[in-house]
Structure 1
Amino acid sequence: MILPSASLLSWLLGLAAAAAYAVPALAASRLQAAGARNALWAAWVLHAGVLAWGMLGATPRFGFAPALSITAWLVLTVYAVERQWFPQLQARWALAALGAAAVLLALVFPGKPLHVSASAWLPLHLALGVASYGLLAAAVVHALLMARAERRIRLAVDTHSGMPLLTLERLTFRFITAGFVLLTATLLAGMLFTEVLYGRAWRWDHKAVFSVLSWLTLAALLLGRSRFGWRGRSAGRLLYAGAALLLLAYVGSRFVLEVVLGRSA
């Protein structure tokens, strides 16, 4: 099996972004806050350049690894915005490691070239889907921070989160709600306009099944939150399950096709 190769410029930008991400990820304890922040900002900008070139360059590509890369970049964007209000939010090293891994993975597996005959609406459909990935990934990060804060509270240890527990919970469900709305729009567009987007009728393939299962799981979570006040571990488990199902929907199916089976479709 011969894997597709990213362009030289993509490799240069990607390696520079991964190196910038590695600074706060590997030297978190020895680096001052300003230095780590500057390195993360530089990596974020370079990462954006990699994504822009991959989608808008001479040969636009998309696949499971670029989808993960965009998701990681969106999560880092959310983190950068939240740091303006909560300077003590501690997730820099983990998110930097995530960004570096996502960039390098997208260089090795840049995805398949997008057909020039594809519908002009296809990029919007892909953008909606990836945005729902990003928002739900941000919700998962907040849920993990919330779970860590709860454990530290039970152990009577200072959380060092810089964000009150109730604020974390509120933000988590706001991201879930926004991601659910975008996922709903993505599914409706896929079901109603499949022939326009992909030139074929709607079919219940693995991507569709996992996407609908994710939608049902998240709908149950939001309904349970609204009607029964679900929170804590029970809500977290449903969020993780819904996010995992959504990850399997596109990223999982594309990984099997592109890497395991060596096919583009």
Structure 2
Amino acid sequence: MILTSTPLWIWLASALAVLAYALPAVMPRVWTDAGARRLMGLAWLAHAASLLGLLASPVRFGFAPALSVTAWLVLTAYMVERQFYPQLKARWAMGSLGAVAVLLALWFPGSPLHVQASPWLPLHWALGLSAYGMFAAAVVHAWMMTLTERDIRLAHEAGSGLPLLTLERLMFRFVTAGFVLLTATLLAGALFGEHLYGQGGSAWRWDHKRVFALLSWLTFALLLLGRHQWGWRGKRAVRVLCVGAGLLLLSYAGSRFVMEILLGRAT
């Protein structure tokens, strides 16, 4: 639950991020394209500042900060893509995603890490959260693909602003990047195991988090193999991607949500 000891500047940064994300999303006609871009850039910076504050000493982490970092990475990918594809239309979805993620992390900041946590833990986190971000970006593109395909069937203008094949190509690029990062994350977990969190124990322990992570890895491997060998695309590729993303979500954020919120346990 939200901490009363949260510094005022984190509250201010979070409030600024939420406001700057929400304004161009809920009032799109009021803002020019340049004005909306500036607001999104301001929101992105304020979001980053709020995350740094929540993750600073004493270091706390949990399902909500993990989701917030993931959302920030998705928004980073969106802002980069807009430089190459200025016709991309996803401002409402991106602004809503950012605002909700910031509020969620502020309300559920997580629990303190073990004092004996490994110095390799930040690298493990960076790899894992980057994988989360890449797969989340792939899911966003899959969602836009679905909407675009529907618009084409109804003879409407594509709401995403991008051709279907372009969205599909971008989706698989994010899947490939996420797969590489997830592989590195699993290898780090296998090498360092529980020592990452300073809890000792064996290098590898079969628990629900690792089982879901491995199942998601296998699902994404199947998706990339299916794309390469059998030309999977369209609805089949989207379904497999969503299954893999759901399993990956359960592997950390889902398990932490159960522990922190449903069971009320810090670890």
Q: TM-score, structure 1 length as denominator? A: 0.95
The 10-residue stretch of structure 1 (82-91 or 108-117) with the greater mean CA deviation from structure 2: 108-117
Aligned to 1:224: 226
Percent identical among aligned pairs is 62
CA contact (8 A) 2:151 2:157 kept: yes
Residue matched to 1:129? 128
Residue in 2 aligned with 1:252? 254
Task: Please name the residue that 2:24 is paired with.
Answer: 24
How many aligned positions are there?
263
1:118 maps to 117
* SS at structure 2 position matched to 1:207: helix
Q: What do the CA deviations read for 1:191-237 (whole angstroms, capped 9, x no partner)?
A: 22114313222221111111111111111111111110000001100
Q: Structure 2 counterpart of 1:106, which letter?
A: A
Q: Aligned runs of 1:172-211 on 2, under 5 Å?
A: 172-198=171-197, 199-201=200-202, 202-211=204-213
**CA–CA distance in 2 between the matches of 1:168 and 1:81?**
15
Output the CA distance in 1 between the equivalents of 2:260 and 2:137.
Answer: 26
Question: CA shift at 1:30, angstroms?
Answer: 2.9
Match of 1:50 in 2: 50
Q: Deviations over 1:154-192 (max 9, x none)?
A: 111111433222121111101001101111111111122
CA displacement 1:26-74 (0-9 Å, x = unmatched):
112332222221111110010011112222x232211100000000000
Of stretches 78-87 and 193-202 in structure 1, the one that deviates more from structure 2 is 193-202
Structure 1, unpaired ranges of 5+: none
1:148 aligns with 2:150: no
The answer (yes or no) to whether the contact 1:13–1:46 under 8 Å persists in 2 is yes
Cα deviation, 1:115-170, whole Å, max 9, x if unaligned, reads 33211100100111100000000001111111111111111111143322212111
- Any idea what SS the aligned residue of 1:193 has? helix
Amino acid at match of 2:17: A
Alpha carbons 1:4, 1:111 under 8 Å: kept: no
Amino acid at match of 1:80: M
Report the Cα distance in structure 1 between the residues aligned to 2:40 and 2:57, rounded to whole angstroms: 28
Describe the SS at the equivalent of 1:82. helix
Cα RMSD (Å) of the superposition? 1.4
Moved over 3 A (4+): 2-7
Question: Where do 5+ consecutive residues of structure 2 fail to align?
Answer: none
- Give the letter aligned to residue 100 of structure 1: A
Residue range with higher mean Cα deviation, 139-148 or 107-116 = 107-116
- CA distance in 1 between counterparts of 2:125 and 2:81 reads 26
Q: Which residue of 1 aligns with 2:36?
A: 36
AA partner of residue 213 (structure 2): S
- Tell me, yes or no, if structure 1 residue 164 matches structure 2 residue 166: no
Are 1:9 and 2:9 matched, yes or no? yes
Task: Say if 2:145 and 2:168, in contact at 8 Å, map to a contact too.
Answer: yes
